[in-house]
Structure 1
Amino acid sequence: MDFEDAVERFTEYLEFVRNLSQNTVDSYTRDLKHYDRYLEEYSLDYRQVKRRDIERFMKELSQGRYSSSRLSPSSVARHLSTLKTFYMFLYVSGTVNKIPTDLVKAPRTRRRIPEYISYEEVQRILNAFPNTHLGRRNRAIIALMYYCGLRVSEVCSLSIRDISLESDPLVRVKSGKGNKDRIVPLTPDAVRILNEYLLYREKFPDANGHTRLFVGIHGEPLTRKSVNKMLQNHVKKIFPDKHFHPHIFRHSCATHLLQRGASIKVVQEILGHANISTTSIYLHITDREKREAVKLLSKGENNEN
């Protein structure tokens, strides 16, 4: 079985046995394309590679080989994780008799504090959209990412039936990352913004023929790429010197909830994290909070309670 056939069988396993989302499967596939280029570069048979071959692949990934740019340690570590899953699948299915990734260590990665913006900045972005059908759609997209902590891919995948705006407003997020469904309550602001959009949704071509909540200017389903492009064009008008990525609204949602006293367990459920350790990265302390805390040290005894 050649490498292409092995990858095809592997992706079928991911889709139909592990039932992973299409975005996750696509991520595995991209990593394996980089690996395929490496195998071709050194005329290697994927069934005969050794530990040193995998380690060389990781080193060259970090140097910018086989991809459009140099990869960060976390991206290299993700490639290794993909290969570990791939070779475990091949081992269990009898295609290989050993797993070359077994003793390979992932590069050390720094735990980065997620970027976030202030509540006031979020409101400036939301309020700056024009009250056109396109502006209302874009405002609703940002509102769901901020008020509900949704990922871009989750927003793009929503159907009209996933939104309930009645007495108990909520959004049903189906098969999010990790293939887990969840329900997230909608805030009054989110309900208002969604209602304003839905009044104008029929202005989009073929909107009534789609079950997707959000559609493009030609009636096509939205993609992560189109949402990112929309955001960059919009933000440049408000913050010319800043580069915002869509995930910043999800980061801001989590950060603001924790800053305002929400339980980390509740935030984990809202974000759809499988492990609470993932949510804990949002327990960072802002510079403002540190300055306020240090000021307490300058208070005299007479001010103590």
Structure 2
Amino acid sequence: MDFEDAVERFAEYLEFVRNLSKNTVESYTRDLKHFGQYLEEYSLDYRQVKRRDIEKFMKELSQGNFSDSRLSPSSVARHLSTLKTFYMFLYVSGTVNKIPTDLVKAPKTRRRIPEYISYEEVQKILEAFPETHLGKRNRAIVALMYYCGLRVSEVCSLTLRDISLESDPLVRVKSGKGDKDRIVPLTPDAVRIISDYLKHRDRFPDANRHIKLFVGIRGEPITRKSVNKMLQNHVKKIFPDKHLHPHIFRHSCATHLLQRGASIKIVQEILGHANISTTSIYLHITDREKREAVRLLSNGEKAGK
């Protein structure tokens, strides 16, 4: 069994035995694609690799080899986690008799405080979309990422049945990260923006032939890549010096909720975090703002000066 066949069997195991979401399986296989390039570059058999080969692969990832750019320690650690799961699968299935990742240590990672933008900046971005069927679609995508804290992959996976705009407006997020379903209420602003898009959805080619909520310009379901490209092009027109990724709207949602007094437990449920420790990182932002406010007393300054 060659490496491609092993990856295919592994993907089937993740999807049908462990019941992982499509996005999660794609993330695993994407990491293994990088590993496959490494194996090919050094003429290595995946069944014969040793600990030093894995460590060299991690080092090369951090230097920008076998990926689009230099990977952060957390991304390198994710690749190692993928390889650990992959080789455990191969060991249990009898394909290998040793697990080369056993003693490999993940790089130390520093937990970063998430970037976010202000409420006013979010509104500028939303308001700047043109009043075309494409502009209305893009506005609805950003609205769901901000007002509901959805990941871009979750937005791309939504179907028409997942949105309810009646008496109790909500969005059903199915099989989010960690395969956890959740329900997030829709704000009046989100309802207005999504309703406006739905009135024009049939202007996209073949829109009525599938149930995906968001349709591409050729009638195909949108992808994370297309959303990211759309956002980059749009934001450059408003904030030429900013480079905003889709996830920043999710970060901004969580930050603004906590700033305005929402409980961390509620924010955890809205974001779909399995552990509250993941959500607690946003508290560092509000703590920092409190410290900056207290410094005003020492400086004798006035707030808003």
Which category of TM-score, normalised to the shorter sequence, fits these structures? Answer: over 0.9
1:83 — aligned with what?
83
Which deviates more, 121-130 or 289-298? 289-298
Q: Deviations over 1:185-232 (max 9, x none)?
A: 001111111111111212222212221111112221111111111111
Distance in 2 between residues matched to 1:245 and 1:33, nearest whole Å: 24
Deviation at 1:8, TM superposition (A): 1.3
Counterpart check, 1:213 vs 2:213: yes
1:94 — aligned with what?
94
Q: 1:89 to 1:128 in 2, by over 3 A?
A: same
- What is the DSSP-based 3-state SS (H/G/I as helix, E as strand, rest coil) of the residue aligned with 2:200? helix
Q: 1:230 to 1:298 in 2, by over 3 A?
A: closer
- What is the DSSP-based 3-state SS (H/G/I as helix, E as strand, rest coil) of the residue aligned with 1:216? coil
Distance in 1 between residues matched to 2:2 and 2:280, nearest whole Å: 43
2:228 — aligned with what?
228
2:140 — aligned with what?
140
Q: Deviations over 1:104-129 (max 9, x none)?
A: 10001111111100001111111111
Distance in 2 between residues matched to 1:250 and 1:212, nearest whole Å: 21
Matched residue type, 1:101: T
Which deviates more, 278-287 or 197-206? 278-287
- Residues 18-33 of structure 1: matches in 2 within 5 Å? 18-33=18-33
Distance in 2 between residues matched to 1:140 and 1:252, nearest whole Å: 16
Deviation at 1:142, TM superposition (A): 0.7
Number of residue pairs aligned between Structure 1 and Structure 2: 299
CA-atom RMSD, angstroms?
1.6
Normalising by structure 1, we get a TM-score of 0.93
Deviation at 1:250, TM superposition (A): 0.5
Distance in 2 between residues matched to 1:215 and 1:44, nearest whole Å: 42
Deviation at 1:285, TM superposition (A): 2.6
Q: Percent identity of the aligned residues?
A: 85
- Residues 117-156 of structure 1: matches in 2 within 5 Å? 117-156=117-156
Distance in 2 between residues matched to 1:298 and 1:234, nearest whole Å: 40
Distance in 1 between residues matched to 2:68 and 2:165, nearest whole Å: 44
Counterpart check, 1:295 vs 2:296: yes
Q: Deviations over 1:129-182 (max 9, x none)?
A: 122222111111111000000011111111111001111110001111111111
- What is the DSSP-based 3-state SS (H/G/I as helix, E as strand, rest coil) of the residue aligned with 2:249? helix
Deviation at 1:297, TM superposition (A): 5.2
1:177 — aligned with what?
177
1:302 — aligned with what?
none
Unaligned runs of at least 5 residues, structure 2: 301-305
Normalising by structure 2, we get a TM-score of 0.93
Distance in 1 between residues matched to 2:29 and 2:271, nearest whole Å: 25
1:266 — aligned with what?
266
Unaligned runs of at least 5 residues, structure 1: 300-305
Matched residue type, 1:185: P
Deviation at 1:260, TM superposition (A): 1.2
Q: Deviations over 1:241-288 (max 9, x none)?
A: 111111110010011111111111111111111122211221123565
- Residues 27-106 of structure 1: matches in 2 within 5 Å? 27-106=27-106
- Is contact 2:113–2:285 with CA below 8 Å preserved after alignment? no
Distance in 1 between residues matched to 2:135 and 2:40, nearest whole Å: 48
Matched residue type, 1:87: Y
Q: Deviations over 1:16-46 (max 9, x none)?
A: 1112222221221121122222223333322
Distance in 2 between residues matched to 1:125 and 1:190, nearest whole Å: 14
Deviation at 1:298, TM superposition (A): 6.7
1:284 — aligned with what?
284
